[in-house]
Homo-oligomer: A and B are copies of this chain.
Amino acid sequence: MSLTLADLNNKTRDEFVAALANNFEHSPWLAEHVALLRPFAGINALFAAMKAAVERAPAELRLALIKAHPDLADKTQRAAGLTAESDAEQNSAGLDRLSDAEYDEFERVNNAYRSKFGFPYVVCVRRHTRDSILRDFERRLPNDVPAEMLRSVEEICRIAALRLDQLVTAEDRLPVHGRLSTHVLDTHSGTPAAGIAIELIELSDLGLNRVVTRAVTNADGRTDQPLIGGRPVPSGKYELVFSVGDYFASRQVPLSDPPFLDRIPLRFAVSEPEGHLHVPLLVTPWSYATYRGS
C-alpha cells in the first residue's frame, strides 16, 4: 500500500523514521536526519535531502552503510533473511532462480570483490540483468577503494530512489522509470498490424534465456502496456519475437510453404535503464525493418 508525500510530511518523527527505515538498507539514521527537514515540497526534494545526507556523512558511516548490504545471490544470507526490499530486488533480476553454475559465478564475484575491498559488492539490481551485473563487476573490480566507495554510494542512492518511488506517491516523480515499447506496421496492407503475438526474451550469455513478457498488438499495432514500463529497463541483451507468420496466414495473404518469415527475432541491447526505447517492426511477408526509435 502506497503512502502519499502528504502522509509522510504529517507523520510523527517516529512514524516517519519507521516508514523510511529501510529506504537505505538497515540505516534508519538517514530517515532520522531528514525527518527534521520536513515538510518536503516534492518527492525529488525528499530524495535529494536523503542523498545529501549520505554524501555528507562521515566516511565511517558511509562504510557502515555499504556493509549493511547483503551479498548478491548468497544462499546462506538469503536463508538467514534479507530485508523485504533486498529480497524483492534480487528476485527481480532472477537471482533467486540461478542455475548452479550461476550461483558459483556470483559467489566467485562476491568473494573476489569482498576480499579486495573489505565490503560487499553493491549494485542497483533493478537496473540490471544477471549478465550485466557480472559485466559491471568485471569493470569495477580493477578500481581502488576510494573509487569503489564513491561508486557503491552511487548505487545505494539508486537503490534508495527506486525504493522511495515504490513506497511514496507524490505529484512529482523521481526520474527512475524507463520504458521499452514496440509498434508493428504492416506495410503489405498499409495499416497497423493488430493481433500479432509478441514475446520479449532476456538473453543470457551465462545461463538460460528468460521470457520477460508476452503481449498481443492492439488495433493500433501497439501493446496496451509498454513491454517494460514504470521501472528501469534492466541493462542487457534482449530478443523481441513477433509471430508474423500466423498474422499474415490469418489474413489470407499468399505465403510460401513454410512461410518465408514466421517468427521474426529482433535482438538488441539496452544500455540506458531510464531511457525510452522504442523498437518498431515494419513488415511484409517478404521483408522487414527495424530501428531504434524513441
Query: Taking beta carbons and an 8 Å cutoff, which residues of A are in contact with B?
Result: 132, 135, 185, 187-192, 220-221, 235-237, 254, 256-265, 267-269, 271-272, 282, 284-294
Contact = CB atoms under 8 A, between A and B. Distances in A.
Given A260-B268, A267-B262, A286 B294 contact: no
B188 A188 contact: yes
29 contacts: A132-B258, A185-B291, A187-B292, A188-B284, A188-B286, A190-B256, A190-B260, A190-B284, A190-B286, A190-B287, A190-B291, A235-B258, A236-B258, A257-B271, A258-B271, A259-B269, A260-B268, A262-B267, A262-B269, A264-B267, A265-B267, A282-B287, A282-B291, A284-B284, A286-B292, A287-B289, A287-B290, A288-B291, A289-B289
Nearest to A293: B185
B187 A286 contact: yes
Contact of A190 (B185, B187, B289, B292): B292
B259 A291 contact: no
Contacts of A261: 267-269
Which 4 pairs from chain A and chain B are nearest by CB? A190-B286, A287-B291, A289-B289, A187-B287
Nearest to A289: B289
Contacts of A260: 190, 268-269, 271, 292
Contact of A258 (B265, B269, B282): B269
A257 B272 CA distance: 9
A287 to B, nearest CB: 3
Nearest to A236: B258
A176 B87 CA distance: 55
A250 to B, nearest CB: 17
A190 B294 CA distance: 9
A190 B293 CA distance: 7
Contacts of A192: 294
Nearest to A264: B267
A136 to B, nearest CB: 11
B288 A289 contact: yes
Contacts of A287: 185, 187, 190, 282, 289-292
